Amino acid sequence: MESEQISGEKESVICISDLYKSFGDLHVLKGVNLDIYKGENLVVLGRSGTGKSVLINILSGLLKPDSGTVMVLGEKVDHLTQKALDALRLHIGFSFQSSALYDSMNVRQNLEFPLTMNVKNLTKMQIKEAVEEALNAVGLIDKMNQMPSDLSGGQRKRIGIARTLILKPQIMLYDEPTSGLDPITCYEINQLIRDVQKKYNTSSIIITHDLTCAKETGDRIAMLFDGMFIKTGTFDEVFADSDERIQSFYNYNFTK
């Protein structure tokens, strides 16, 4: 109901309806429905193993759904040809949980790689400017010539985000952006997610089980439980719900 009201006012960039995904006997997603609107940050919150990462892997075309519809920027992701999917992927930035930086390349090469492989006829100066702009956006311009192995976990996450920003995506997908980081670095990453939203006018899905991250980065929260969304709304709306599953998640996070 609430989703329909908002959709009347805002443009939907991602539309998921009746999505199912199983791995053998394990049913991960069991009828997921969700809309993400232009310019908003949506946090998908839930325990480990509830299918959060599977959801964004389907959105980026890394996994195929068993059934259901996934529309991204008006395209049906699972019905696209490889060429069309690649064209769509240029508008989607994916920040991996492990950062997924290319070990054999330094920071500069990590950022140059997606740019030079996708945009032809760029001059050396244009490439340099794009790399510097992306590194400035994440505040790590001084790390340009370092290898990924020389960076801290937080720095790796930031470089991973910078690598996606270099293609100026319309949609950002963050997979557990604060996992394994100390509270101060978590705060910095949360701020960065907000900065990216403002500066690049992106729509984002942030996958997390960290309530602080959800509160600081999310315009809307979608609570995933056992392969289905059980509640969607602002942070306060979601956690005002008396549903035992939501309350136990909230209490466990904050009492810990």
Partner 1 sequence: MTPKAKPYIFSKGIDSYFIGIYESYVFVCRFFKQVLQRPFHFGQIIDQCYEVGLKSLPLITLTGFVTGVVFTKQSRTSLEVFGAASWLPALISIALVRALGPLVTALICAGKVGSSIGAELGSMKVSEQIDAMEVSAINPFKYLVVTRVTATTLMVPILSLYCSLVGLLGSYVNVHANENTSFAHFFQNGFATISFLDVFTAVFKSIVFGFTIGIIGCYKGYNASQGTQGVGKAANQAVVLTMFLVFVEELVIVQVSNWIKFF
Give the shortest CB-110-to-partner 1 separation in angstroms: 9
Length of the chain (residues): 256
Could you say which of 4, 5, 24, 121 contacts partner 1 (CB under 8 A)? 24
Judged by CB under 8 A, the chain residues 116 through 155 that form the site for partner 1 are 117-118
Using the minimum distance from each CB to partner 1, give the nearer residue, 67 or 126.
67
Give the shortest CB-164-to-partner 1 separation in angstroms: 8
Give the shortest CB-101-to-partner 1 separation in angstroms: 8
Judged by CB under 8 A, the chain residues 53 through 92 that form the site for partner 1 are 60-62, 66-67, 86-87, 89-90, 92
CA atoms within 13 A on the CB side of 46: 26
Give the shortest CB-59-to-partner 1 separation in angstroms: 10
Using the minimum distance from each CB to partner 1, give the nearer residue, 94 or 239.
94
Could you say which of 41, 46, 50, 96 contacts partner 1 (CB under 8 A)? 96
Say how many residues touch partner 1, by CB under 8 A.
32
Which residues contact partner 1 by CB under 8 A? 20, 22, 24-25, 27, 30-31, 60-62, 66-67, 86-87, 89-90, 92, 94, 96-98, 100-103, 113-114, 117-118, 163-164, 167
